[in-house]
Structure 1
Amino acid sequence: MRRRTAVVAGVVAMATLLTGCDFSVYSLPLPGGAKIKGPSYTVTVEFADVLDLVPKSSVKVDDVTVGTVQKVWLEGYVAKVKIKLPKSLDLPDNTHATIRQTSLLGEKFVSLAPPTGDEKPRGKLDNGELIPLSRTTSNVEVEEVLSALSLLLNGGGVAQLQIITQELNKALTGNEPAIKSVLTQLNTFVGTLDQNKQKIVTAITAVDALAKKLNAQKTTLATAIDSLPKSIATLDKQRAALVKTLQALSKLGSTATRVITASQKDLVANLQSLYPVLTKLAEAGQNLPKSLELLLTYPFPDGAAKAVKGDFTNLDITLDVNTQKALKGLLGLGLPTTGITLPTVGLSLPVHNSPQFPTGKGTAGLPPLPLPTGTATSCITLLGLPVCTPTLNRPAFDPELAKVLMPGVAK
């Protein structure tokens, strides 16, 4: 009895001592984990669910224990795990983390692995870095598998599996070639879609752009659709006229075809006859327009005025004739003044003075022109009387002679 009392007293004293020192079992170091010798670094990993992962759990790479879990805590709705790794461990910066089990009912551990597939490793994992939630996963728990199995067995359609199997056997038996052909075609179809996925994406993008443009023109389209019934009604009223127009157009086409067919030979013959003419016109080239330029200044080309300086070619003179002075000057008649004013006749007579081109050396392409000799008489009729004036072969018009012969003549 005394021994029991002493033991109880010792336990109470020990509990009192521990309480007074603010000591708990959670502060004791846990066993397990890898022993890391030398320099190390820590990394924080985010998980959506850590299951029953606890501190001192192992951290493995390729199923080899390399580190240990130091701390597990909850921050918001994300579980965070701090792991300790040796400095000698070289992992990429985009390392993936997974919570796995050593066996079906074994302990949990954190597995680290470099990225696979199209993602390439980059950088180096260093102290204090974070492996985000996007690069972490957790394996399926046995409890989850059993829970899903129990749901299937208790409330699922296990009883109908036999019926489904029997009906599938009936449907597939004897139709193996057809089913194989369908699967082959489906494989070809899916393969073609995969090969043209970029074109499909481009088409969908174009359809999206078209939909945006149609949406922007929604008011205009609504107005057009609202006015469409009136347009259709107008077309319906004009249907008979449109039908007649189309029938007449068809008749015109038939007639034109018949005319062209009938005149085909003549048309070909005319074209063949025109071919030499058009060929010669093409060969004439610039000579034809140059000849048309000479037509207005015949017989002298435009260059003749520049060849002979100080002379006159294609000269026009205007005659303002006073009949009384002209008759008195030419015939010596003194006519009485009757108070009747005779009409003044204005004549425009062209005078062509032929220039004398030099015929010496150095003048190419300019043939000598024969000059007329002697005098000639040019006559006109004024008020029933003939009026004649001599024309001299001079290179230019003489104003003094004009004053003597015809007073009042203006150049």
Structure 2
Amino acid sequence: MSAPRSGVRRSAPAALAAVLTATAVAVGGCGMPELADLPLPGGAPSGPAYRVTVEFTDVLDLVPQAAVKVNDVTVGSVEEISLSGWTARARLRIDRAVRLPANATAAVRQTSLLGEKYVAVAAPVTESASGQLGEGAVIPLSRTKRSAEVEEVLAALGLLLNGGGLAQLKTINEELSKALEGRESTAKDALRQLDAFVGGLDRQRADLVRAVDALDRLTGRLSRQRAVLGDALAALDPGLGVLAAERDQLSDAVTALGELGRVGSRVVVESREDTVASLRALQPILDQLVRAGDALPKSLDFMLSYPFPPNVTGAIVGDFINMSLTADLDAATILANLFSAKPVAKPPPRSRSGSSGRNPSNPSGGGQRPGGTDDRPDGIGPLLPGVLPAICLPVGGLLPLDWLPPLLPECKLPPECKLLGPGSLLPLGGLLPPGGVVPPGTVFPPGTRLPLGTILTPGCLLPPPDGATNGRTGGLLDVLGGGLLE
């Protein structure tokens, strides 16, 4: 292997010297150009542009003709730097082809550690872009900032290194390590809970802001009502003074009320059995009063004007009573009125001929009573006109819809009386018995049970009772109830 030649080592310095010499010769031969013909460093390309004013608290050593960059691309230059009060104002010239939002941000940055300053313009980060930056626009202080200077960083580093707290940081680190030793899981859990708590606060940020705003409005309203609140507190002062003066009496009253409560409790406990016995003894009376319903107050009202109805006072003129009364004292009519049945004409006199004593018109052979009413077939008593006797109905149970009365004269139903099944259309003037129990006023005895929902046609209803009192019709019950007189 041959040794390297020394000429190779000297080739680089020689080449560099040759280049410098050639450059000097060229410059000397061609002559120095004018300074105005050289482009200034950082200048933007010439052409149509628009101007924007940017406000800074400190522009550091930014100079005119410094570059204006967007995403590290030069799009303009700084035309002028001025001072307005304590605010620095830089007028930028930006290429018209560059479109920026109206809420753009600006910052003074540095190309390198020891490089020149330039203005960086960018879209906002914390909010969405809106509008468009145009001629004469202003970027205020709230959307501008500057980067830290090398001198500031070195000064802070020097303060830290020259006894600025490294020893304290070492002590804090050691003590923190001792405190967390063996408790790593607990510390992690605490950090997770803190993270969850902070996350919850962040999710409820809008609610918290709304609550703070509402509290601000409340405090503002209280501030506006300060005079009213002061007057209210001043008005409360005499009352509070009276309460303070009567404090002993109020305390004695509360103590006495507590003692009264204890005595009342003891009385209730000791008399419990007697109270329960009294209530049980009172129960039958209350039951009877409930059953009486409105009859008791009506009877008391009637008692004051007995034997006349309560509304008889309208007929009293001085010491006279204007009254017109027609009384039918026929026994059959009275009984018919009591049972809400239509009175009928009196039967013909009983025949006195014949040895058997039977009436040919009475096939049942029951004979006749002196009152002129037919005897019931079962021999119990007179047959009320218009009402079916119990012997004509099935004993017990419901009355079926297809029921037909026995072929007996006393069991004959009116031809228009029919039983309509449940769900049928209620005819005009018909009756739907409540609960399937026939009420008074029909050809059936009151209390007759029908299938639930059965409808009685109008032919099954009895006409209203007859009678006349002052031109008003009604039965004996209406007369006794005071409903026919005024």
**Fraction of identical pairs, as percent:** 35
Please point out which of 61, 76, 89 is paired with 1:52. 61
Q: What does the per-residue CA deviation read over 1:53-90, in whole Å, with 9 as the maximum and x for residues that have no partner?
A: 11221111111111222222222221111111222211
C-alpha distance in 2 between matches for 1:202 and 1:45: 33
Decide whether aligned partners of structure 1 residues 216 and 104 sit closer, same or farther in structure 2, where only a CA change above 3 A counts. farther
C-alpha distance in 2 between matches for 1:72 and 1:297: 118
Matched-pair contact (CA < 8 Å) for 2:44–2:74: no
Provide the residue aligned with 2:315 in structure 1.
314
Provide the residue aligned with 2:456 in structure 1.
none
Matched-pair contact (CA < 8 Å) for 1:34–1:66: no
Task: Show the 5 A alignment for 1:4-403.
Answer: 31-36=40-45, 38-117=47-126, 119-154=127-162, 156-194=164-202, 198=207, 201=212, 204-205=215-216, 208=219, 212=223, 216-218=228-230, 220-221=232-233, 224=236, 228=240, 231-232=243-244, 234-236=246-248, 239=251, 242-260=254-272, 262-264=274-276, 266-267=278-279, 270-271=282-283, 274-275=286-287, 277-278=289-290, 281=293, 292=301, 299=308, 314-316=315-317, 348=319, 350-354=320-324, 367-368=467-468
Q: What does the per-residue CA deviation read over 1:199-229, in whole Å, with 9 as the maximum and x for residues that have no partner?
A: 6637855874796568843465467568757
What is the deviation of 1:98? 1.0
Provide the residue aligned with 1:329 in structure 2.
none
Decide whether aligned partners of structure 1 residues 242 and 45 sit closer, same or farther in structure 2, where only a CA change above 3 A counts. closer
What is the deviation of 1:242? 4.5
Matched-pair contact (CA < 8 Å) for 2:49–2:94: yes
Provide the residue aligned with 2:483 in structure 1.
none
C-alpha distance in 2 between matches for 1:109 and 1:272: 107
| Higher relative strand content | 1
TM-score when normalising by structure 1: 0.58
Matched-pair contact (CA < 8 Å) for 1:95–1:135: yes
Matched-pair contact (CA < 8 Å) for 1:33–1:69: no
Structure 1: 5+ residue stretches without partners: 1-24, 306-312, 318-347, 358-363, 371-411
Decide whether aligned partners of structure 1 residues 217 and 128 sit closer, same or farther in structure 2, where only a CA change above 3 A counts. closer
What is the deviation of 1:137? 0.9
Q: Which letter maps to 2:185?
A: P
C-alpha distance in 2 between matches for 1:112 and 1:206: 39
Tell which deviates more after alignment, 152-161 or 46-55: 152-161
TM-score when normalising by structure 2: 0.50
C-alpha distance in 1 between matches for 2:137 and 2:44: 22
What is the deviation of 1:365? 6.2
Q: Which letter maps to 1:201?
A: V
C-alpha distance in 2 between matches for 1:203 and 1:67: 47
What is the deviation of 1:255? 1.5
What is the deviation of 1:189? 4.1
Q: Which letter maps to 2:106?
A: A
What is the deviation of 1:126? 1.0
Provide the residue aligned with 1:373 in structure 2.
none
Decide whether aligned partners of structure 1 residues 208 and 101 sit closer, same or farther in structure 2, where only a CA change above 3 A counts. same
For the residue of structure 2 that corresponds to 1:145, the secondary structure is helix
Cα-Cα RMSD: 4.3
For the residue of structure 1 that corresponds to 2:162, the secondary structure is helix
Q: What does the per-residue CA deviation read over 1:286-342, in whole Å, with 9 as the maximum and x for residues that have no partner?
A: x9769958975965786x99xxxxxxx83535xxxxxxxxxxxxxxxxxxxxxxxxx
C-alpha distance in 2 between matches for 1:315 and 1:211: 73
Decide whether aligned partners of structure 1 residues 137 and 231 sit closer, same or farther in structure 2, where only a CA change above 3 A counts. same
C-alpha distance in 1 between matches for 2:300 and 2:281: 31
C-alpha distance in 1 between matches for 2:132 and 2:217: 42
C-alpha distance in 1 between matches for 2:239 and 2:169: 61
Q: What does the per-residue CA deviation read over 1:111-153, in whole Å, with 9 as the maximum and x for residues that have no partner?
A: 1111122x22111111111111111111111111112222333
For the residue of structure 2 that corresponds to 1:70, the secondary structure is strand
Corresponding pairs, count: 297
Decide whether aligned partners of structure 1 residues 273 and 63 sit closer, same or farther in structure 2, where only a CA change above 3 A counts. farther
Structure 2: 5+ residue stretches without partners: 1-34, 328-463, 471-486
Q: What does the per-residue CA deviation read over 1:27-67, in whole Å, with 9 as the maximum and x for residues that have no partner?
A: 99870235435432111111111111112211111111112
Decide whether aligned partners of structure 1 residues 189 and 355 sit closer, same or farther in structure 2, where only a CA change above 3 A counts. same
What is the deviation of 1:94? 0.8
Q: Which letter maps to 2:96?
A: K
Decide whether aligned partners of structure 1 residues 234 and 28 sit closer, same or farther in structure 2, where only a CA change above 3 A counts. farther
What is the deviation of 1:95? 0.8
C-alpha distance in 2 between matches for 1:102 and 1:266: 105
Decide whether aligned partners of structure 1 residues 47 and 368 sit closer, same or farther in structure 2, where only a CA change above 3 A counts. closer
C-alpha distance in 1 between matches for 2:39 and 2:86: 26
Decide whether aligned partners of structure 1 residues 86 and 161 sit closer, same or farther in structure 2, where only a CA change above 3 A counts. same
What is the deviation of 1:259? 3.3
C-alpha distance in 1 between matches for 2:153 and 2:272: 88
Matched-pair contact (CA < 8 Å) for 2:302–2:308: no
